[in-house]
């Protein structure tokens, strides 16, 4: 029988550097599959439907939710996001490990559904001031959106020790080395 794939979830307040670190992980660990979530948020420049997310309308999202298509779903910063149950089960049952980018609600719900099979890594910013700087410098959000994300970050950071692992993204290279060690260990066990 094929061994089940691993469920590896990365959680971080928006602006911490999660996408940057995940990009490096995807380049290095080619065997990791990517969980493509469904979302109602608008497409950002450079994003591809079906690759970064499945971009759907609010009506379509609610229909899927009511059909029980999602393991977990959440409203994050005013948009809906959901993880497809069928997608995840078919991957792990075929032995493929999956990398997830979720918010704290998503990670909590994945833990509820999969228990110890779900491995959660929290990425924390070195400080709130640095987080604010990164969000502003990225320049992808309006001021209103930045304020919502910073306010959410304050409560999310308090959860940093609630998960299986915590990596501080101060110096990017150091954070990546720490993260890589954790992922390598999970994939080898
Ligand atoms: P997230 O996916 O967590 O919202 P991003 O990966 O988009 O965050 O990173 C937010 C911004 O911070 C980007 O402009 C990115 O280049 C920058 N960044 C990421 N990690 C670091 C770091 N360790 N030091 C300084 N800037 C960083
Ligand atoms: P972004 O809009 O910046 O891509 O993502 C915003 C937030 O939504 C991030 O914290 C990301 O982790 C979270 N997110 C993305 N997909 C899902 C999902 O399927 N479920 C949940 N709960 N959160 C998600």
The predicted model gives 59-79 an average pLDDT of 93
The predicted model gives 122-147 an average pLDDT of 93
* pLDDT for the residue 111: 95
- Rg over alpha carbons for the chain, rounded to the nearest Å, is 16
Local structure of 1: helix, strand or coil: coil
Distance 99 CA to ligand 1 centre (A): 18
17 φ/ψ angles, rounded to the nearest 5 degrees: 120, 15
* pLDDT for the residue 89: 92
Taking the C-alpha atoms of residue 170 and residue 99, their distance in angstroms, rounded to an integer, is 22
Distance 134 CA to ligand 1 centre (A): 6
What digits encode the pLDDT tens for the residues 26-45?
A: 999 999 999 889 999 999 99
Name the closest-CA residue to atom 27, ligand 1.
17
Neighbouring-strand partners of residue 99? 8, 34
Task: Domains for the chain: give ranges and CATH numbers.
Answer: 7-188 (3.40.50.300)
Taking the C-alpha atoms of residue 105 and residue 167, their distance in angstroms, rounded to an integer, is 19
pLDDT at 76 over 90: no
Which ligand lies nearest to the CA atom of residue 109 in the structure?
2
Element (H, E) at 5: none
The predicted model gives 166-188 an average pLDDT of 98
Taking the C-alpha atoms of residue 106 and residue 162, their distance in angstroms, rounded to an integer, is 14
Taking the C-alpha atoms of residue 14 and residue 153, their distance in angstroms, rounded to an integer, is 7
Distances in whole angstroms, Cα of residue 162 to Cα of each of 76, 81, 154, 182 = 20, 22, 15, 16
Name the closest-CA residue to atom 12, ligand 1.
134
Name the closest-CA residue to atom 26, ligand 1.
134
The predicted model gives 111-132 an average pLDDT of 96
The predicted model gives 135-141 an average pLDDT of 90
Name the closest-CA residue to atom 11, ligand 1.
134
Q: Does the beta carbon of 5 sit less than 6 angstroms from any atom of ligand 2?
A: no
The predicted model gives 52-58 an average pLDDT of 94
Q: Does the beta carbon of 87 sit less than 6 angstroms from any atom of ligand 2?
A: no
For residue 15, give the DSSP letter.
T
| pLDDT averaged over every residue in the chain | 94
Q: Which of 185, 187, 188, 173 lies closest to 24, judged by CA?
A: 173
Residue with tokens 């290279």: 173
Element (H, E) at 173: helix 172-188
């Amino acid at each position: 029988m094929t061994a089940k794939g691993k469920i590896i979830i990365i959680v971080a307040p928006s602006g911490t550097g999660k996408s940057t670190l995940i990009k490096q992980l995807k380049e290095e660990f080619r065997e990791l599959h990517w969980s493509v979530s469904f979302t109602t948020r608008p497409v950002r420049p450079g994003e591809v439907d079906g690759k970064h997310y499945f971009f759907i309308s609010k009506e379509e999202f609610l229909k899927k939710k009511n059909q029980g298509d999602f393991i977990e779903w959440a409203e994050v910063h005013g948009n809906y996001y959901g993880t497809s149950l069928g997608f995840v089960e078919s991957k792990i049952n075929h032995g493929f490990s999956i990398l997830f980018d979720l918010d704290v609600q998503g990670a909590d719900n994945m833990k509820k559904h999969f228990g110890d099979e779900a491995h959660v890594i929290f990425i924390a910013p070195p400080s709130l001031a640095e987080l604010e700087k990164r969000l502003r410098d990225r320049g992808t959000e309006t001021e209103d959106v930045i304020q919502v994300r910073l306010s959410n970050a304050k409560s999310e950071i308090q959860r940093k020790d609630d998960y299986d692992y915590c990596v501080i993204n101060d110096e990017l290279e150091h954070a990546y080395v720490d993260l890589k060690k954790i992922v390598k260990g999970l994939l080898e066990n």
